[in-house]
Structure 1
Amino acid sequence: MWKPDPNKLSSPKYLSIATALEQDIQTGRLVEGDKLPPQRELAYQLGVTLGTITRAYAEAERRKLVRGETGRGTFIAKTANVHSPLMLMPNTEGIQGYDLARNLGLAHLNPDLGQMLRELSDDPLVNSLNEYGPSEGTFYHREIGAQFLAEFYGAPANASQTLVTCGAQHGIQIAMLAMFNRGDVIAVDEMIYPPILSVLPALGLQIVPIEAERDENGHMGAMSADALEEACTKHDIRGVFLIPNAQNPTTHTLSNAERQRLATVIEKHNLTVIEDDPYTPFISRKQKSFLELVPENTVLIGSPSKVMSAGLRTGYIHVPGNVKTAFANAIGESTWMAAPLNVEIVSRWITGGKLQETLQRKREVLRQRYLHMKEMFPNNVLQGGEEKLFTWLQLPEQQSAELVAQAALLRGVEVLSHRNFQAMPRTDINALRVSLSTIAHHKHFEEAISLLKASIEHLEDIQTPRPMVG
């Protein structure tokens, strides 16, 4: 029967128990149909009250992790029914709310698609874009992709090793398929982009979280090179997944020194780096890409989706030359090819200067919104920057980020707690990821931040002990 490690439970315990249950589902320890222990028995084993377990099971049911059957007990639900908090739900008329949870890249500022479609309709070669093509993309489109990676990533990319994908998410999946075998171990940050926690286990890959370095304010920094080195001595690690620029969710950008320390460990143990860089075009000051530091060990994934073309699902992946065929096969077997029409539109926007124009507009909005966040919250709790699409907001140790997220939701504001990004079973992190890039109007963004701050302050008032009178 399932039981979480009582030594790893933190307060509030009912949320910690529900989170442990969710993590064991993500890692495959629990699967659909598994029966959970009776509430009274689990309470006895963990040394907590029956009410704590009742609340934990209720929270798990709210997250659609479990289902109760009268007279039989509580069972793990069909995991396909668990809706990822990052995914958009269909629009529901009459329901108003503010989205600080998802990271949609200020899509309302994207280039005019109608204008481009009219331009394409006058091109006598437009019908050729409605035919099958090479799985890796046409050479012309790959040249544009290499140009994009060189100009906006500072990466030494070339067309012969660049392939076209259906966005960065697709690039991650085919990189895992092409480079690794079932059972291989992949190192990841202790706080990581949530789909990694489901995609890798679904492909039969094992995850080893690596601790991050901390600064004087407790802010999370780079993946610790020493911790990665130690993990390599304990596990047969084959690869490492990194988001070097504006790491999701902590916003940290690796310095050149931090990259070099990691590159030394990567070379020593011959690890494959999956360098996922969806936010790099927004960063003005470029650091060295791992493609430059360890070119034979690096798969670089880039995409203009966040900058200008989320709906066109176009990305680029630069791979070591000796595995190019494996990647082309993985693309072909997963989706045959990226849609040539979409790739052509993105290519024209890149070569015609639309990408740069759109990028400048979005940078200005992000700067304005980050400055507003700095006005609303102390610098020592706020991690981010003027060119980043989200911030990482640390909360006091005694205050649960999960409870703040729930309180904000009651005020109509969606925001994600650290729990959604947590790769380690236990963490000292207590934070929220606050998106700057989804709400279109700045006035609405300010309203959302005010409501979020009110939610935090309300819980502070509730949790602060009152002096006894009399």
Structure 2
Amino acid sequence: MSRPVYLSLAEQVQSAIAEGHLAVGDRLPTHRQLADQLGISVQTVSRAYEELIRRGLISGETGRGTFVRAAKSEPDPPFIPQRVDEVIDLSILKPVCDPLHVEAMKQGLVELASSLPPSVVLSFRPNTLFARHRAAAVPWLRDCGVETSAANVTLTNGATAGMTIALMAAAPPGSTMVTEEIGHHTLLPLASYMGIKLRGVAIDEQGLLPDALDAACRDGTVRALFVMPSPINPTASHMGAARRADIVRVAQRHNLSIIENDPLGPILEERRPPLAALAPERTLYVTSFTKCVMPGLRTGYLVVPDRLIAAVANRHLVTNWMATPLIAEMATRWVESGFAMEMVRWQRRALRRRHELAAEILAGIPYRGHPEGLHVWLPLGDSRPEATFVSHARLQGVAVAAGSAFAISPGARAGALRISIASTTESELRAGLGVIVNLLNSDPEPVLLAI
């Protein structure tokens, strides 16, 4: 076992559970028994068990012992839920951040405080409050490749809020929606909570396959398509222009509403036409500022067809009432002044540098990425169990996201890692990728404790 020993022990027990060596209901050795068997302290075993309890994998029952728990009914996020000091976190998807982002927010708040419109803190009417904001959104959305009018724009509290409203408007409870078989990790639970049946569709290196989409829609039950054609999707695929046109034709043939999730917005310098540009009459386009400007700017835009304006407005009222006015005001000021686009250009340059670093360290290892994307997708192959690799990386102080966390269809096999290249410093990224390369070059067979 590596150090810290308690975490090493916890990771190996978790691997044993994931691979079926320990089953639900199995009783684990007492703290003393396991400590004696492994030649470690009782305190170390206690810390390992506490960590496994925190992860929801085991439970202690007074007077009976410690047992393996049933699988959680709620899915875990693909990223570690909190940053741990000794861990290089390549699991969470976020833009490159720098002290300049903090300083920009401080300065923006100072300016906002000195010239705060009373309506920002007093208004209850979204249509009145956000008229200027929706007008400012139109040129920003044009830079995303979407031509629209202010009347078709809804301000949201970010992409997740936009997704939720779009799903409510496009796919009523009991209906079926299709998406990429390796897709958005929040979409499966979100659809479940809303009573929407979600079906995964086969993908390739460009994303969704038109023929597979067509076949999935032939039974006439599918109402909507959720799609991420930009390389924000887990597999970092970038859908070509011809493929986008093919997808739109299938959607038109089956009368599908399209929900297009594009949180990268204008970051991609060589943008391909969004589906919203090809089929504005049926596409709900979601974008935000958190991935392309800065994480704390939690606001965004939802562009909707004319026929859904009233439905979206009502669903937004019952879920959020309206976007948070202070943050929306900050974003609008930055859009109007050009500062938001300046930050996009900064982010674009920073991401290109990160991808150059990744290409240098991962030379000779097959992976997929886009030079202006936030992550890379690294297939592991059949000889390396995904859960074991993720656990071994964590033991060596590196957190990565398991590809299986993004599987929509039960039969979809990822066998890959999603590795954020923007979530930490360049030095930590270099060190973390070095650990991953060393693990890839080591013996793929897992080493598990006999307990």
Q: TM-score surpassing 0.5?
A: yes
Q: What secondary structure is seen at the aligned counterpart in 1 of 2:441? A: helix
Show the counterpart of 1:204.
195
Q: What secondary structure is seen at the aligned counterpart in 1 of 2:296? A: helix
One-letter amino acid matched to 2:307: N
Displacement of 1:16 in angstroms is 6.0
Q: Relative to 1, partners in 2 of residues 1:415 and 1:235: Cα closer, same or farther, differing over 3 Å?
A: farther
Show the counterpart of 1:402.
387
Show the counterpart of 1:100.
90
CA distance in 2, matches of 1:279, 1:191: 18
CA distance in 2, matches of 1:87, 1:389: 17
Higher mean displacement: 190-199 or 69-78: 69-78
Q: Does 1:372 align with 2:364?
A: no
CA RMSD of aligned residues (A): 2.8
Displacement of 1:226 in angstroms is 0.4
Taking the TM superposition and a 5 Å limit, the aligned residue runs for 1:82-101 are: 83-86=76-79, 88-89=81-82, 95-101=85-91
Taking the TM superposition and a 5 Å limit, the aligned residue runs for 1:72-221 are: 76=70, 79=73, 83-86=76-79, 88-89=81-82, 95-108=85-98, 109-110=100-101, 112-123=104-115, 125-135=116-126, 138-151=130-143, 153-213=144-204, 220-221=205-206
Displacement of 1:405 in angstroms is 1.0
CA distance in 2, matches of 1:207, 1:39: 34
CA distance in 1, matches of 2:249, 2:80: 37
CA distance in 1, matches of 2:341, 2:222: 39
Displacement of 1:341 in angstroms is 1.3
CA distance in 2, matches of 1:432, 1:72: 32
Q: Relative to 1, partners in 2 of residues 1:98 and 1:87: Cα closer, same or farther, differing over 3 Å?
A: closer
TM-score (norm 2): 0.82
Q: Relative to 1, partners in 2 of residues 1:362 and 1:67: Cα closer, same or farther, differing over 3 Å?
A: same
Which of 211, 233, 255 is equivalent to 1:270?
Answer: 255
Deviations 1:151-173 (A, max 9, x none): 2x111121010010000110001
Q: Can you give the 5+ residue segments of structure 1 that lack an aligned partner in the other structure?
A: 1-11, 19-35, 41-58, 214-219, 465-470
Q: Does 1:443 align with 2:427?
A: yes
Q: Relative to 1, partners in 2 of residues 1:416 and 1:311: Cα closer, same or farther, differing over 3 Å?
A: same
CA distance in 2, matches of 1:170, 1:65: 31
Taking the TM superposition and a 5 Å limit, the aligned residue runs for 1:23-42 are: none
Q: Contact (CA 8 Å) 2:403, 2:417: kept in 1 or not?
A: yes
Q: What secondary structure is seen at the aligned counterpart in 2 of 1:302? A: strand
Percent of aligned pairs with the same amino acid? 26
CA distance in 1, matches of 2:220, 2:201: 12
CA distance in 2, matches of 1:135, 1:65: 45
Q: What secondary structure is seen at the aligned counterpart in 1 of 2:442? A: helix
Q: Does 1:328 align with 2:310?
A: no
CA distance in 2, matches of 1:71, 1:87: 28
Show the counterpart of 2:437.
453
Q: Relative to 1, partners in 2 of residues 1:98 and 1:38: Cα closer, same or farther, differing over 3 Å?
A: closer
Q: Contact (CA 8 Å) 2:157, 2:323: kept in 1 or not?
A: yes
Displacement of 1:83 in angstroms is 4.6
Deviations 1:341-384 (A, max 9, x none): 11111111112121222122222221122112212224661100
Show the counterpart of 1:414.
399
Show the counterpart of 1:49.
none
Show the counterpart of 1:254.
239
Deviations 1:384-433 (A, max 9, x none): 02111100012232112221111110011100111111112223432111
Taking the TM superposition and a 5 Å limit, the aligned residue runs for 1:231-242 are: 231-234=216-219, 236-242=221-227
CA distance in 1, matches of 2:79, 2:65: 35
Displacement of 1:284 in angstroms is 0.6
CA distance in 2, matches of 1:17, 1:294: 47
Show the counterpart of 1:55.
none
Q: Relative to 1, partners in 2 of residues 1:158 and 1:83: Cα closer, same or farther, differing over 3 Å?
A: same
How many equivalent residue pairs?
404
Q: Relative to 1, partners in 2 of residues 1:73 and 1:63: Cα closer, same or farther, differing over 3 Å?
A: closer
Q: Relative to 1, partners in 2 of residues 1:380 and 1:261: Cα closer, same or farther, differing over 3 Å?
A: farther
Deviations 1:161-201 (A, max 9, x none): 00100001100011111222111111010111110111111
One-letter amino acid matched to 1:164: L
Q: Relative to 1, partners in 2 of residues 1:368 and 1:79: Cα closer, same or farther, differing over 3 Å?
A: same
Q: Contact (CA 8 Å) 2:217, 2:254: kept in 1 or not?
A: yes
Q: What secondary structure is seen at the aligned counterpart in 2 of 1:176? A: helix
